[in-house]
Structure 1
């Protein structure tokens, strides 16, 4: 609450009331002064109870210009409604980017408490516990999270990678090698080439022979065709121009908001059919070819950024089992 604003408002109320009540003040000073005091205090109290104090805080009203601003907005929103697992996960990610690893760990713990079956949250929460540790070790609680995540989604690369790291830290080299080996056929070639020596180091430490790179499936075989068009009525909107950005996004169902694959188009290119592949992934450890299903949608972004902004228009998400047998059709239209 901005106390300075309330004081100024109260003073203005006093001035206005003084002008209005001048005849009363002149005739009955005590009564007039009492009315002035009640009016000033009442105005402040009424604003305190019914006003919108957040509107006085520029950090809440304006778009965040820094990580600190984004964290402040998330903290404020979660203070009002704590039962938002996605909000806690986003705050945890923001803390991590800001180097506040202990706060990130605690925020992820709240996200997993609200969504205990969310594989992405479990994996991120385990990683955050290791990052908050002085020696970057996965503690028993982190390992339990990774085991749960891997059980729920055996194809989750991050959970499997971190679980292997945790097992190596414990000296369970054979188990670590066994955990990592399936990744060799799933991750991109460059990542697999970097991982193979780690697998073999773990195998040698366990007294096992080294292995060769397994046969790899083509990542392009699981590309996803998406056809996008815009409703003619929306195309006539005064805000829409030929250069307005359109994002075609595939993300994990019920998972973290970071896309598995994304492609940017200009509105002038619509209608268009795009083929989303591993090359469209913004994350090296999460590829389209490694997941079983995705949610696909298109976003008309007036701000030109991939993150959803005020006034942006999205299609309803379509859940697709991979590999898809046909193209997904999306139409941007007024909400």
Structure 2
């Protein structure tokens, strides 16, 4: 039963720690135990899971389900597309997920044509002087955060040092929290952070942009060149 599963995952988190995977599974169990209500606790757990790992599969799947159930079909497509990209090529759930994306797109077509989502284009490079200080497998988090707003990133992409230089786009599809979208804030700052531990909030090296409008069309250049103090 969902209620029993929620209690089991709560105990697991208490014993094993707040890993993104356990937090996502706990959130999912709570969602179904509350008759598919996206409660404040479910929101907090998925927020925490995706803050630690933007590709946490259970949280992405759950957010897609919640969006679909509330007829936010574009958000469902966005979350499930991110989930699909994170799954192994042979994962048995890919077929059902692709079917869900197709249904969401069909339902979306029946609604008013959506406004084209704004997207910030970013080219990220690593300063030549730092190449001896990083490893190819170190995580690189590229994100936008509000100038006047919450500290949490509004949109985030995760790559590795080996992928640099890289060109990415940040949009509402990359939101870590459904209520915090890039399009809701006029001014943002772009940040690229190298984190050996794989944590988006702390790392060793960083590059930051000047404040810019969130609907800026021109590609922005970010150079990772400073200690992350």
How high is the TM-score relative to the length of structure 1?
A: 0.35
Larger Rg, first or second structure (1 or 2): 1
Greater strand fraction, Structure 1 or Structure 2? 2
More helix by share: 1
Point out which structure has higher relative CO (alpha carbons under 8 A, 6+ apart). 2
TM-score with structure 2 length normalisation?
Answer: 0.50
